[in-house]
Structure 1
């Protein structure tokens, strides 16, 4: 559906920054209370998905018999299992450490956000183990990545410098190569090859991340004040790659199936 509508071709950076904003807000204190921005943004995703389904239903570009319902609850449930449990596993491989309570809390936040986004209970994971099972089942049901998936995956990686606000061509190329390498080592060579990722070597990627994480923990014990400043910088950097409209959070929706012909939302 993203490929047909052009959501990542037209204003693609804005779409990614909106996603970043939601992921920041749902983890803010009180972010998922009724008046919290995380709550509002999660419900907004539900409304946007419903509107896109409505627009595609009236479009000749979507083959309902072959593809079923666009942005279905099953696909959203599959995706959120990747955003939650799969992400935790990736972070662990990169050297991050979380207590059992932190892991449960992370999963609970995503579970409630998924509920707000409209995933029915039967398709919404119950805990980390269940999310991994859903991800495994969903992956087994998915066909090999078609051309549209290849284009979107590579577009997402190449959008990273734009989302981060990097304009220098050499720096942009370095970041893209870096993201490709990290992504390849996390998703594995088989899927990376199917998505036509560049055949970059992944040797040393995970050990380097783990060394950095261990170094950070040592510095935290020795210089807690310095680490607090570094953490604040990382947090503000995350905010910098998120969308904060002056008008605040709105529930404006796309009004045309093609992004280039839709009003700004």
Structure 2
């Protein structure tokens, strides 16, 4: 997502010109770009820790270095890049404190997320019990939304007042997975196993990539970006200036 933002920012700068950018600022702010370092990196490990996963502090610092370097490559202003895990947590805490309510595009994004999930699950067919298994997966994911985001977020995303009986299993599955990961880390040979998993790639992302590549081909031929969505607001700002 942040790569997409970085690409859009570069193209819009070329399209609108440096004079406009100098007067009104970059099309996608440094603050928004920098937020990806915390939301895609630091926040994920903090979720894990909250559910019982154990990490060395060095792991946390390494993750921040990894995502901060990505931010540097994507052109984020250096002053906005956290140098330590502690700085990243402070930025994340501030971001949550001033975050605005959901935008008018939230419902559309929910629909896209549901389409992506259905596309992914349609990639695999389970003989005889396919509908039952996929229904259980949906209910479990809905339970996960309630568990992570509370009642407000759960109802908003799922359109249901509360998780089902199957959905209420989600918290137990998460904590069980965290405990298994902790156990795996304590068994000798952990780093060799980790290296082997990395060498084989991530199965989930591999399946997702194949599924969405197929979905894109089935749509409108993969129309390229026009970078025209904000042209009218830009013209209005130019006239106002």
Gaps of 5+ in 2: 18-24, 214-222, 230-241
1:212 and 2:177 correspond: yes
CA distance in 2, matches of 1:155, 1:51: 25
Q: 1:239 corresponds to which residue? A: 206
**Change in 2 beyond 3 A, CA 1:141/1:235:** same
1:187 and 2:144 correspond: no
Q: 2:232 corresponds to which residue? A: none
Q: 1:178 corresponds to which residue? A: 140
Query: How many matched pairs?
Result: 201
Greater helix fraction, Structure 1 or Structure 2: 2
**Change in 2 beyond 3 A, CA 1:86/1:165:** same
**How far did 1:194 drift?**
5.1
Gaps of 5+ in 1: 1-18, 23-41, 59-67, 246-252, 260-265
Equivalent residue for 2:10, pick from 26, 46, 50: 50
User: Residue by residue, what CA displacement relative to the aligned partner does 1:41-60 show, whole Å, maximum 9, x if unpaired?
Assistant: x5x762343225766x69xx
User: TM-score when scaled to structure 2?
Assistant: 0.62
* Kept in 1: contact 2:65–2:84 (CA 8 A): yes
**How far did 1:104 drift?**
0.8
1:83 and 2:40 correspond: yes
**How far did 1:217 drift?**
4.8
Alignment RMSD (CA, Å): 4.1
CA distance in 2, matches of 1:129, 1:222: 29
Q: 1:103 corresponds to which residue? A: 60
Q: 1:38 corresponds to which residue? A: none
CA distance in 1, matches of 2:186, 2:98: 46
* Kept in 2: contact 1:84–1:107 (CA 8 A): yes
Higher Cα Rg: structure 1 or 2? Answer: 2
More divergent stretch after superposition (231-240 vs 118-127):
231-240
Equivalent residue for 2:75, pick from 93, 118, 122: 118
User: Residue by residue, what CA displacement relative to the aligned partner does 1:147-185 show, whole Å, maximum 9, x if unpaired?
Assistant: 302321342244134246635573555434333322332
SS class of match (1:150)? helix
SS class of match (2:34)? helix
CA distance in 2, matches of 1:154, 1:128: 34
**Change in 2 beyond 3 A, CA 1:159/1:217:** same
CA distance in 1, matches of 2:86, 2:159: 29
Q: How does 1:1-265 map to 2 (within 5 A)?
A: 46-51=6-11, 70-163=27-120, 166=123, 168=125, 170=131, 171-193=133-155, 197-201=159-163, 203-215=168-180, 217-218=182-183, 228=193, 231=197, 235-242=202-209, 254-257=224-227
Return the structure number with greater relative CO, CA threshold 8 A, min gap 6: 1
CA distance in 2, matches of 1:158, 1:53: 32
**How far did 1:237 drift?**
3.8
